[in-house]
Structure 1
Amino acid sequence: MNNKISYFLCSAFIVIICFEAVSQRSPTTGLRVGNQAPNFELPMIDETLLSLESLRGKIVLVDFWASWCKGCRNKQSTIAIYNQYKDKNFRTAEGFIILSVSFDKDKSAWLKAIEMDGLIWKTHVNDLKGFSSEVAKRYKLPGLPQNVLLDGNGIIVSKNIMGERLKYELDKMRND
């Protein structure tokens, strides 16, 4: 009987140690909620490079879009949410930003859409390669529009959200 108890306790101890080791690891990089978002680096409007990793410490909505995508162009609720949350504090971050990743191949069409749609944030990137872009491949985009919401550590919190659902997710991450 003592051997069975010892064996059980030893087995339980090993399971607990393995569980602790797995829970302490860094998140897996990937496209699922709970994973670290894959990093990328793309040129901004002024040609300076911006990496997704450089935005750690902020809540980031990575918004994949293009000027020719009609479903991508209605951003009025997103602009209002940006204005409401951009200076707020969150549990894992200070502030909320939108990183607009365009898949336009025509720079003038891209810039004109930013202006016409009133996209007031400064974080707009595009390598002008369309869906041949490495980002499209890395994020396995089936089409547009698409987005991912990241916490301050670059972990995917939600995917393809807008409007009230976006506000709900942002409120869940707030300090207060």
Structure 2
Amino acid sequence: MSRKTSHTLRYLLAALAITLASTSLYANDLAVGQPAPPITMTTLDGKHIDLKDLRGKVVIVTFWATWCDPCREELPLLSQYAQQHAKDGLVVLGFSLDTPDQLDQVRSVANNLSFPVGLLGDPHVPGYGRIWHLPVSFTIDREGRLVDNGWKDKEPEWTQEQLDKVITPLLSQQHETATNYSP
């Protein structure tokens, strides 16, 4: 094999390895209209909240960090909206990408939020992929189906307009099981 062919082959193999690695790093099982991947939060006070136990609620799973300026701007809006709509069946789960040595900063932010917060621990979240940009959120309807894939959002930060467009209509829909139930 010539030196040029060998160099080209090494280059192609390296490019393939990078492509495969990046594909697996960002891989996720998210499909709008399909069941959302399972996820469980351990809150800062040690409680466990499992997505499957929130069936019948509209759930926003959001990923953020104290060092993320757009996240710090988004969190108060999301907190206010969550508080206003808790009676309508809205639950927000806030997963912080901060490390345990930043727990004091996370607690400081979490103390001003109306929703539970937990440390993610590992940016590789089964089913959701590697959390590589922040903020990123995923919306799950009352039946446990993904209705908004944050990876596809052109503007990843929640705004009041986005909340009104994506979440508010879900809150007005009744739980299918409840409406189809007959004794």
TM over 0.5: yes
TM-score normalised by structure 2 residue count: 0.65
Tell me which residue corresponds to 1:165.
Answer: 162
1:108 partnered with 2:104: yes
Counterpart secondary structure, 2:87: coil
Percent sequence identity is 26
More helix by share: 2
Cα distance between partner residues in 2 of 1:46 and 1:148: 23
User: Could you give the per-residue CA deviations for residues 15-55 of structure 1, whole angstroms, max 9, x where no partner exists?
Assistant: xxxxxxxxxxxxxx931211211112231111222222121
Cα distance between partner residues in 1 of 2:110 and 2:36: 25
Amino acid in the other structure paired with 2:83: N
Tell me which residue corresponds to 2:41.
Answer: 42
Report 1:1-176 matches (<5 A).
30-74=29-73, 75-88=75-88, 95-105=89-99, 106-115=102-111, 118-121=112-115, 123-127=116-120, 129-131=121-123, 134-135=124-125, 138-140=127-129, 141-160=131-150, 162=158, 163-173=160-170, 174-175=172-173
- After TM superposition, the structure 1 stretch with the greater mean CA deviation from structure 2, 41-50 or 139-148, is 41-50
Q: Unaligned 5+ residue runs, structure 2?
A: 1-27, 151-155, 175-183
User: Could you give the per-residue CA deviations for residues 1-26 of structure 1, whole angstroms, max 9, x where no partner exists?
Assistant: xxxxxxxxxxxxxxxxxxxxxxxxxx
Q: CA deviation at 1:58?
A: 0.7
Counterpart secondary structure, 2:114: coil
Tell me which residue corresponds to 1:8.
Answer: none
CA RMSD of aligned residues (A): 2.2
- Contact 2:138–2:149 (8 Å) recurs in 1: yes
- Contact 1:104–1:130 (8 Å) recurs in 2: no
Q: 1:169 to 1:79 in 2, by over 3 A?
A: same
Amino acid in the other structure paired with 2:46: E
Would you identify which runs of 4 or more consecutive aligned residues in structure 1 move more than 4 Å? Answer: none
Amino acid in the other structure paired with 1:66: A
- Contact 1:81–1:167 (8 Å) recurs in 2: no
Larger Rg: 1
How many correspondences in the alignment?
135
Q: Unaligned 5+ residue runs, structure 1?
A: 1-28, 89-94
